[in-house]
Amino acid sequence: MIETLAPAPEAPLAGPSTGARVWGLLLAALRPVGVVGVALLIGMGLIIYTGQNPLPAYESLLIEPFRSWDTFSAVLFDAIPLVLTGLAAAVAFRANVFNIGGEGQLQVGALATAWAALALGDLPAVLLIPAAIAAGAVAGGLWAGIAGWLRAYLGATELVSTIMLNYVAIDLASYAVGQGGPLAATSGPGNATNTIPVAAQFPTLGASQLHWGFVVALLAVALLFVALYRTPLGYEIRMVGANASFARYGGVPVARVIVGAMLISGALAGIGGAVQVMGFQHQYSTGFTQPQWGFTGVTVALLARLEPVGVVVAALLYALLQEGAQLMEDNTSVDHNIILVVQGLIILFVTVQVTLSWRRRRRPRL
């Protein structure tokens, strides 16, 4: 059984004051910056060790992306799916459910979005866009709900079920768009759906790839924040995550809360797939999540300490590293793989933080 993953029990019987919440939001936003900063310092040492000058390399990595709208919009574009999959992981972890199935939930959400957009293509954009997003959210939520139900009512570990459902989702989607599949394109190279109608496509901002999915991601952040801290369900999710036994004693339906948290988690991941279909690829194709947004979202959530506002900062930092790494390799002789080391260090530091926090809470009180 996975132990409590939330950063700290939040005294569920007494909600935090406004001042405490503002301070908590500030810490949630700054903590990812600190962790990434330490990893970057170690990366600087590695660059020096290889005989390179780290200053031009880090200028390309951290400053160059802000010097033009093209590069900065690329950072924002890369952050969109990471925000949504980070939120997906965060809400599940808040309920002490280790959902690492964001990859599969994003896949089925993307596929369902493409299907809905094609099936309802005669609708005007004002109806078609919400319907397509809703289809992705429902598909992702139901897919995650399978693992949530297995955990809540059968005691099956979600570590195994979410991982296995990832593979099932990918194989089902591959069958659906493969040769002879029910959603396969009627023309083209295959392994993809038809292009969705223009009415279902998000407009881009200027000539960049950045699309209105970024607004959808920010709305999801705001809605999840309100849901976690201003609704009875959010209260129950935080209570179950802090102490499921205490919550059950207090009358909280723990099993239903776990399933509910997983439904919300999967819906957010499904929306992550929806916005990529509607804003960039305009179809579903195999290899859709080659960057592994679902798994990276877990790192983003832990880096943000499961705070919705922190998820935005962590996703932007991660996207900045991705975009800056390519610029660093283009402008200097430093290999971009050094950033893979930095990203590995970030994951290591986050793991250490979570482990130490868990051990402190498990330490017997004298």
Whether pLDDT at 11 is above 80: no
pLDDT for res 62: 86
pLDDT band at 347 (very low <50, low <70, confident <90, very high): confident
Strand partners, 204: 211
Among positive and negative, which fits the CA dihedral 340, 345, 346, 350? positive
Give me the CATH topology for the region 18-37+79-309.
Answer: ABC transporter involved in vitamin B12 uptake, BtuC (1.10.3470)
DSSP label at residue 259: H
CB count, 10 Å around CB of 357? 16
Alpha-carbon gap, residue 140 to 105, rounded angstroms: 4
pLDDT band at 231 (very low <50, low <70, confident <90, very high): very high
Residue 132 near residue 278, CB atoms below 8 Å: yes
Residue 204 near residue 76, CB atoms below 8 Å: no
pLDDT greater at residue 243 or residue 334 = 243
pLDDT band at 91 (very low <50, low <70, confident <90, very high): very high
Identify the CA nearest to 218 among candidates 68, 83, 32. Answer: 83
Put simply, whether the predicted model's pTM sits higher than 0.85 gets the answer: yes
Q: What is the pLDDT of residues 189-206, one digit of tens each?
A: 678 999 999 999 999 887
Residue 339 near residue 324, CB atoms below 8 Å: yes
